[in-house]
C-alpha cells in the first residue's frame, strides 16, 4: 500500500447561480479591485493508502459521487499525488 | 492588457481546528471509506486583466490579504494562468 493525497475540487456547474461568489466579487469591487468574474470552489485533500494511484483516484471519485459533490449541481475533478 | 485567471487557494493554518472537515471525514467513514486525514480549502478563481502575470499575481495576493483570507487563521497560495 502506498500513501496518496487525492485532491477533489468541487465546482458549481456552468449556469448554476452562485450568489456567494457574486457577493464576494462585489465586496472586492467595493475595495477598489477590478475583476471580470469570480468563481468559487471547494477543495478536499484526502490522505489515503491505496495499491496504486489509479485505485486512489477511483476511491476519491466514489467519495465525490457519494458525499463531497452533488451531481445535480456540481462538477468535480480528482487529482492524485503520492505523499 | 492580457486576460489572466488567478486561482487563490485558502487553507486553515496547520493546528487550527477544522470541525467541518472532521465531520466530513466521519461521514465518509460511516459510508465505509477509509482515509487518514481530510483537509478542506476554499478556492477562488479570479478572471482579471493585467499588464503581466506578475502584476496579476500581485493583485490576487492583495485581494487575498484584504478579503479572501484571514491572515490570523489562514494560509493562501496564488497561481496565475493566462486565459
Instruction: Give the tens place of pLDDT for each residue, A13-72.
Output: 999 999 999 999 999 999 999 999 999 999 999 999 999 999 999 999 999 999 999 999
Distance from CA of A37 to the nearest CA of B (A): 5
Q: What average pLDDT does this structure show over A8-12?
A: 97
pLDDT at A20: 94
pLDDT at A2: 95
- Rounded to whole angstroms, how far apart are CA atoms B38 and B66? 27
Q: Which residues does B contribute to its contact with A (CB < 8 Å)? A: 3, 9, 21, 24, 27-28, 31, 33-49, 59, 62-63, 66-68
| Domains in chain A, CATH or no CATH each | 2-82 (3.30.1280.10)
Longest dimension (CA), chain A: 51
HEC profile for A20-37? HHHHHHHHHHHCCCCCCE
List chain A residues with CB under 8 Å of B27: 67
3-state secondary structure of A16: coil
pLDDT at B46: 97
- Rounded to whole angstroms, how far apart are CA atoms A68 and B8? 20
Which strands sit side by side in the sheet containing B37-50, from one edge to the other? Answer: A74-82, A2-12, A37-50, B37-50, B2-12, B74-82
The interface predicted TM-score (ipTM) is 0.89
Which residue in the set B36, B41, B49 is minimally distant from A48, CB to CB?
B36
pLDDT at A51: 96
List chain B residues with CB under 8 Å of A44: 21, 24, 38-41
Amino acid at each position: 500500500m502506498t500513501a496518496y493525497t487525492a485532491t477533489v475540487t468541487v465546482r458549481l456547474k456552468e449556469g448554476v447561480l452562485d450568489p456567494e461568489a457574486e457577493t464576494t466579487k462585489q465586496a472586492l469591487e467595493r475595495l477598489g479591485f477590478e475583476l471580470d468574474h469570480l468563481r468559487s470552489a471547494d477543495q478536499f485533500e484526502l490522505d489515503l493508502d491505496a495499491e496504486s494511484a489509479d485505485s486512489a483516484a477511483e476511491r476519491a471519485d466514489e467519495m465525490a459521487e457519494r458525499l463531497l459533490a452533488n451531481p445535480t449541481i456540481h462538477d468535480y475533478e480528482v487529482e492524485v499525488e503520492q505523499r
